[in-house]
């Protein structure tokens, strides 16, 4: 199904600003919910949690504000620009947990979260804002362009290199729960 252009498509920066705020709201909400559960102790009841304002506010931010921002952003920006923000609130939450919950966040977690967030921002900045692909033939032609093929090859090579590097730095048995993950890094 082809994406129909909106009258507001030229206002894509507004759409990205809305989804960015929604992503931050979702992360703040997730962190507030975790904060409420941490303060409540082991196995709190639902009634007990609903009496905590920070829990209720966190749930509203995560379930309502984030979703409303996503729908609002789709009015002004194409879904190809809005969709990458769908899971970014998880990475924001990692960074917020460090400050709000005083959780220990290592340099690898910080680096990984930062890379994902920067990657999404770069994707939005350099994405085709006016490109409309409505048929499979158009997609095939776009994917066969030299620049697209170079991008696909570079992405595949980078993915393979990072996978091999991560297995070298932190070896583990993929798909097997019987073997423990080795602690520490060997270079």
96-154: per-residue pLDDT in tens?
888 888 888 888 888 888 888 888 888 877 776 666 666 788 878 888 889 889 988 99
93 in any annotated domain: yes
Domain co-membership, 53 together with 121: yes
Pair 93, 15 in one domain: yes
pLDDT at 5 over 60: no
pTM of the model: 0.65
Whether 46 is covered by a domain: the verdict is yes
**179 part of a folded domain:** no
- What mean pLDDT comes out for the span 6-23? 81
Return mean pLDDT, the chain.
Answer: 81
Mean pLDDT of 85-93: 84
pLDDT of residue 186: 47
Same domain, 25 and 102: yes
Residue 133 CA to residue 80 CA, distance in Å, equals 11
CA dihedral 127, 132, 137, 143 (to 10 degrees): -10
Q: Which domain holds residue 167?
A: 133-172
Mean pLDDT of 13-39: 92
**In terms of domains, do 159 and 98 share one?**
no
Same domain, 116 and 155: no
Both 125 and 165 in one domain: the answer is no
Task: Look up tokens 């952003």; give the residue.
Answer: 73
Q: What is the DSSP letter of 174?
A: T
User: Residue 22: what pLDDT?
Assistant: 94
Q: Helix, strand or coil for residue 77?
A: coil
Residue 187 lies in a domain: no
Which pLDDT value is given to residue 175? Answer: 53
pLDDT for 132 equals 63
Query: Can you read off the two tokens belonging to residue 93?
Result: 């939450």
Q: Are residues 24 and 106 in the same domain?
A: yes
Same-domain check for residues 13 and 90:
yes
Q: Are residue 120 and residue 148 in the same domain, yes or no?
A: no
**155 and 125, same structural domain?**
no
| pLDDT > 50? residue 38 | yes
What share of the chain in percent tops pLDDT 70? 82
Nearest 10 degrees: CA dihedral of 63, 69, 73, 78? -10
Total tally of structural domains belonging to the chain: 2
Rounded to an integer, the average pLDDT of 23-42 is 92
Residue 2 lies in a domain: no
What contacts 24+ positions apart, CB below 8 Å, involve 33-39? Answer: 33/58, 33/59, 33/62, 34/97, 34/101, 35/100, 35/101, 38/101
Looking at the fold, whether 73 and 50 belong to one and the same domain comes out as yes
Q: What is the pLDDT of residues 42-71, one digit of tens each?
A: 888 889 999 999 999 999 999 999 999 999
127 and 138 within one domain: no
């Amino acid at each position: 199904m082809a994406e129909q252009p909106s009258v507001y498509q030229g206002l894509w920066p507004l759409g990205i600003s809305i989804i960015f705020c929604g992503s931050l709201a979702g992360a703040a909400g997730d962190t507030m919910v975790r904060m409420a559960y941490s303060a409540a102790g082991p196995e709190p009841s639902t009634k007990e949690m609903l009496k905590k304002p920070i829990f209720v506010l966190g749930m509203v931010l995560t379930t309502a504000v984030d979703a409303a921002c996503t729908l609002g952003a789709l009015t002004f920006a194409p879904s190809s620009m809005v969709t990458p923000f769908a899971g970014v609130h998880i990475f924001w939450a990692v960074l917020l947990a460090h400050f709000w919950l005083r959780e220990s966040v290592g340099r690898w977690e910080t680096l990984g979260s930062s890379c994902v967030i920067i990657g999404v921002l770069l994707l939005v900045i350099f994405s085709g804002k006016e490109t409309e692909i409505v048929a499979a033939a158009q997609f095939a032609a776009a994917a066969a362009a030299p620049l697209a093929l170079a991008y696909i090859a570079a992405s595949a090579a980078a993915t393979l290199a990072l996978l091999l590097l991560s297995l070298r730095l932190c070896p583990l048995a993929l798909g097997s729960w019987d073997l423990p993950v080795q602690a520490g890094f060997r270079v």
